[in-house]
Amino acid sequence: MTAPRDAIAPIVLGHNAFFGVDHLSSQRGSEREAHFSDLRRVLEVVEAAHAAGAGGLMMSTHERAAPICDLVTQSPRLRDSLRIYPLLPYAQKYVTRSNEVGMVNVVLEMLSGTSLTDKLNLLWQGSKAALTKDVNAVLAAVMQVELKAFRRLNTHAVFLHDTLTDLALALGLREVFEFYLEEIPRVVPGAHGAFTTKNLPHFLETFAQWGVPRPLVMTHFNKAGYHMNPDREACERAAAAHPVSVLAMGSLASGYLQPEEAYSYLATVRNIEGVVVGVSRQAHIDQTFAAIKRYMPRS
């Protein structure tokens, strides 16, 4: 299923502040994680951002995602009008928990909230994966578990984490991408498959060779070139040369850039359909969203 060109909301609220992710300061990240441990504060920011113009919410499949989804579901206004963009999977969760309790217990935790039918289905898919080394079977099992909380919401597109996207690209696993695009609408009806990458030129060149239709891609784009591989200029050329809908992340370079400078730059890059940005307070919402609206035409 080919995603429509307007599948990406112009302004998407990011999850980093809610989950304590800060690429420049671990202390600041820990402080935000503690602050947003009270999920009512998360809801306050989501509601304020939505009122200010955010049409979407990006959330990784973090353990806090399910209760946040519950809160959004309980708000008719948010449930009906806010597009949800899950990021799958939350890789750090599996690494951390497997170190703490072992991989077997991680699997048992994953299955704890599923029905008997789902458990048997996942057991079959997991067994198939173990016997055949079928990457798609593993991916299907992860989708079934991690996307359960998002099925009640207006889930518009599901982004595959860059760790899996870029690994599958490096190995030339075209069938993984084709399977993902076909499977997402089955798991979450109405949703589109989308991808996250840290190497946009390679991603787009490979998709062009494979003849895959216009993809939805989340990738870093910022004036500082932060996390842009191989460099900013190559990413700009790739975005202009290929049919693609880009959701720009890292637009403020983890706080290095001011909103005016950041979004006046993004306005010069072709095929950027939206911006995902994390905010944690009203003043930040006002300043950041005002700059996006000023410079990004679709917003």
Q: Which of 141-155, 201-215, 219-233 comes out lowest in average pLDDT?
A: 141-155
Give the model's pLDDT for residue 95.
47
Structure confidence by residue, pLDDT tens digits, 223-249 = 999 999 999 999 999 999 999 999 999
Residue 2 forms part of a structural domain: no
Judge whether 124 lies within some domain.
yes
Domain count, the chain: 1
List CB contacts of 128: < 8 A, sequence separation 6 or more: 134, 137
Residue 1 located in a structural domain: no
For residue 219, give every residue at least 6 positions away whose Cβ sits within 8 Å of its Cβ, in sequence order, or none: 196, 197, 198, 200, 203, 228, 235, 246, 247, 248, 249
Q: What's the confidence (pLDDT) of residue 131? A: 41
- How far, in Å, CA of 232 to CA of 221, rounded? 8
CA distance linking residue 198 with residue 161, whole number of Å? 10
Q: 4 lies in a domain?
A: no
The conformation of residue 136, written as its DSSP 8-state character, comes to: H
Question: What does the alpha-carbon distance between residue 248 and residue 235 come to, in Å, rounded to a whole number?
Answer: 11
Residue 3 falls within a domain, yes or no?
no
Q: Which domain holds residue 50?
A: 11-295
Any domain includes 253: yes
Q: By mean pLDDT, which of 58-72, 81-95, 191-205 is the weakest? A: 81-95
The CATH number of residue 203's host domain is 3.20.20.100
Residue pair 143/177 in contact by the 8 Å Cβ criterion: no
Which segment of 77-81, 106-110, 114-118, 171-175 scores lowest on mean pLDDT? 106-110
Classify strands 83-88 and 56-60 as parallel, antiparallel or unpaired.
Answer: parallel
Residue 299 pLDDT class (50, 70, 90 cuts): low
Q: Which among 284, 234, 238, 282 is positioned nearest to 262, based on CA atoms?
A: 284
Average pLDDT over residues 69-95: 85
Identify the pLDDT of residue 254.
Answer: 86
Judged against a pLDDT cut of 70, whether residue 160 lies above it is answered with yes
Return mean pLDDT, the chain: 85
**Beta bridge partner(s), residue 4:** none
What does the angle CA 78 – CA 83 – CA 86 come to, to the nearest 5 degrees? 115
Q: Tokens for 11?
A: 């302004």
Q: State residue 103's pLDDT score.
A: 46
Residue ranges of the alpha helices (H) in the chain?
16-19, 26-35, 39-51, 65-73, 76-81, 91-101, 103-111, 116-132, 135-146, 162-170, 174-187, 200-210, 232-241, 259-266, 282-295
**Residue 237 domain flag:** yes
* Structural domain contains residue 105: yes
